[in-house]
């Protein structure tokens, strides 16, 4: 079993770029664009406990911001177990992390993100 603890330094800028884009869109109340960047940050960071949990934390607050009870309730269990699942390497690869998709469903990784992940590993 592989234990994941720290995101590779070469992957970190891509994760941070998505979070910056999320914040920029959120400041302009461009909620669908902001959400898409959170999903992309989730895909990039989901294998690493801190980043995975951090994105779910951001998703929880996004749900509060847009007054989505479904998102808020959906993020609570993800916050409780997401980081642990990352640590032990048992994540649903490609899952976008929102309450709009089953938490254990693997999903196709967007091609550009797959290329980034393949390059930095």
Q: What is the pTM of this model?
A: 0.94
- Is the per-residue pLDDT at 96 higher than 90? yes
Q: Give the residue ranges of DSSP H helices in 66-103.
A: 69-87
Is 2's pLDDT higher than 70? no
Q: Supply the pLDDT for residue 58.
A: 98
Q: Measure Cα distances from 79 to 1, 30, 54, 120 in Å.
A: 22, 24, 8, 26
Residue 43 lies in a domain: yes
Domain span including residue 100: 12-120
- Considering 20-24, 78-82, 104-108, the range whose residues carry the highest mean pLDDT is 20-24
Would 56 be classed as within a structural domain?
yes
In a domain, 4, yes or no: no
Considering the domain boundaries, does residue 5 fall inside one? no
Count of domains in the chain? 1
Residue pair 71/99 in contact (Cβ under 8 Å)? The answer is yes
Give the model confidence (pLDDT) of 28-87 as tens digits.
999 999 999 999 999 999 999 999 999 999 999 999 999 999 999 999 999 999 888 888
Whether residue 4 is predicted with pLDDT greater than 80 in this model: the reply is no
Q: What percent of the chain clears pLDDT 70, i.e. is strictly above it? A: 97
Say if residues 113 and 11 touch (Cβ distance below 8 Å). no
User: Is 2 within a domain?
Assistant: no
pLDDT of residue 1: 52
Instruction: Tell whether 96 is covered by a domain.
Output: yes
Q: Look at phi and psi of residue 107 and say left if phi exceeds 0, alpha if psi is from -120 to 50, else beta.
A: beta
* Token pair 């980034």 in the structure block, residue: 116
**3-state SS, residue 80:** helix
Does residue 82 fall inside a structural domain? yes
């Amino acid at each position: 079993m592989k234990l994941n603890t720290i995101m590779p330094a070469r992957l970190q800028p891509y994760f941070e770029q998505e979070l910056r884009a999320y914040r920029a869109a959120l400041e302009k109340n461009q909620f669908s664009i902001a959400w898409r960047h959170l999903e992309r940050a989730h895909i990039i960071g989901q294998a690493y406990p801190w980043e995975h949990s951090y994105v779910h934390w951001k998703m929880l607050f996004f749900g509060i911001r847009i007054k989505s009870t479904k998102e808020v309730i959906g993020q609570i269990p993800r916050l409780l177990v997401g980081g642990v699942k990352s640590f032990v390497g048992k994540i649903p690869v490609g899952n976008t992390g929102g309450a709009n998709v089953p938490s254990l469903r693997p999903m196709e990784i967007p091609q550009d993100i797959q290329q980034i992940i393949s390059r930095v590993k």
